[in-house]
Structure 1
Amino acid sequence: MYHEKQSKQLCLLHSLNNLYQKEVFQQKVLDGICSVLSPDTFFSPHRSILGLGNYDVNVMMKAVQVMGHEAVWFDKRLHPSVLVLKHVVGIILNMTTSSYIPPFHRKHWIAIREVGGKFYNFDSKLKGPIEIGDESHLKSFLVEKLKTNEVEMFIVVEEDTHKSGSWKNS
């Protein structure tokens, strides 16, 4: 399994590459997306002023579109049991984490996807992917994560799946 570990503030870069199970994106590509999103600004509002990463949701959504997919925000009022996982490429979570300087908090991106019939947590802060288990274990994992306001979830799907809405049960 392909797994990139955390470097600088590039967790979005790592989560995207972990989601696609190969190095698809590099920092210069995500920085280029920032420039496209805000072409007339010297300091992009979509990343860290220092240029170390810390990309926002707009960069994630555009990067996924580059791959021919869509990132669909998951409404936490729904239960993860509505997911039709056979139509899902993967899941990206954006989580608030503590900072070294209280009371500031940082955002951290992680990818979850299926490999060989099991779902894995590809958090770049981990030494390697952690097995979550089968579909029922994944849904229980997601229920726990979504209990807090500190987590946002995005479902990565094919464009056609997004248009038809077939990633979820009605």
Structure 2
Amino acid sequence: QDRALHIQLSSPNWLAPDARLNPHRSLLGTGNYDVNVIMAALQSVGLAAVWWDKRRPLEQLQLVGILGFIVNVPSNVTLGFVSLPVRRRHWVALRQHGGTYYNLDSKLKAPAPIGGESELRVFLQGVLSQGPCELLLVVPHEVEKAGSWLNTAE
């Protein structure tokens, strides 16, 4: 799955084959893809992205059916050591491995351990409380259709 996803994202006009400029990518070619690319790429490997309603308590996440998370956060733009007064959006992936959730942010030198389920919820709450950001749940299509990523009994 990972290799197939990489190959599709590498293709310059994968979502817009007839377009001269790719409307889903930054004009600067920095890889700043919009959400349509992420959703289509996940769909191509049998997965779905579910938008999390930030008004819901994070305790309603049914973590068993969720394969990972993608967070869209504001990010400062820097040139070398100089931080510019411009902000753009940055995608950050979170995934569980061996019972521990990891922050897979490409701006980190290595994956950063977050911890178990309770630490993940605290981490996500901290991210969501920082301002304009979005949370996507990465789930199999069956989980999306059944809505089993959500525990409304809480």
TM, length-normalised to structure 2: 0.86
Task: State the Cα distance separating 1:117 from its structure 2 match.
Answer: 0.7
CA, structure 1 residues 89+46, in 2 after alignment: closer, same or farther (shift >3 Å)?
A: same
For 1:148 and 1:79, how far apart are their aligned partners in 2? Answer: 16
Matched with 2:56 is 78
Matched with 2:121 is 139
Deviations 1:22-42 (A, max 9, x none): 55533x62254x734334321
Of 141, 150, 154, which residue of structure 2 is paired with 1:168? 150
Runs of 4+ with >4 A deviation? none
Q: How does 1:13-52 map to 2 (within 5 A)?
A: 23-26=3-6, 29-32=8-11, 35-52=13-30
Task: State the Cα distance separating 1:157 from its structure 2 match.
Answer: 0.3
Q: Does 1:64 align with 2:46?
A: no
Q: Does 1:154 align with 2:136?
A: yes
Deviations 1:107-140 (A, max 9, x none): 1111111110111111111111111111011001
Higher strand share: 2
Report the aligned-residue RMSD.
1.9
Q: How does 1:5-20 map to 2 (within 5 A)?
A: none
Of 70, 77, 80, which residue of structure 2 is paired with 1:99? 77
Of 91, 100, 116, which residue of structure 2 is paired with 1:118? 100
Which moves more between the two structures, 155-164 or 52-61?
A: 52-61
Deviations 1:35-81 (A, max 9, x none): 34334321111002233311110001111111100000111111111
Residue 97 of structure 1 aligns with an amino acid whose one-letter code is S
TM, length-normalised to structure 1: 0.79
- Would the aligned equivalents of 2:5 and 2:42 in 1 still touch at CA under 8 Å? no
Higher helix share: 1
Task: State the Cα distance separating 1:152 from its structure 2 match.
Answer: 0.7
Q: Identity over aligned residues, as a percent?
A: 43
- Would the aligned equivalents of 2:8 and 2:14 in 1 still touch at CA under 8 Å? no
Larger Rg: 2
CA, structure 1 residues 63+115, in 2 after alignment: closer, same or farther (shift >3 Å)?
A: same
| Aligned residues between the structures | 148
For 2:114 and 2:66, how far apart are their aligned partners in 1? Answer: 16
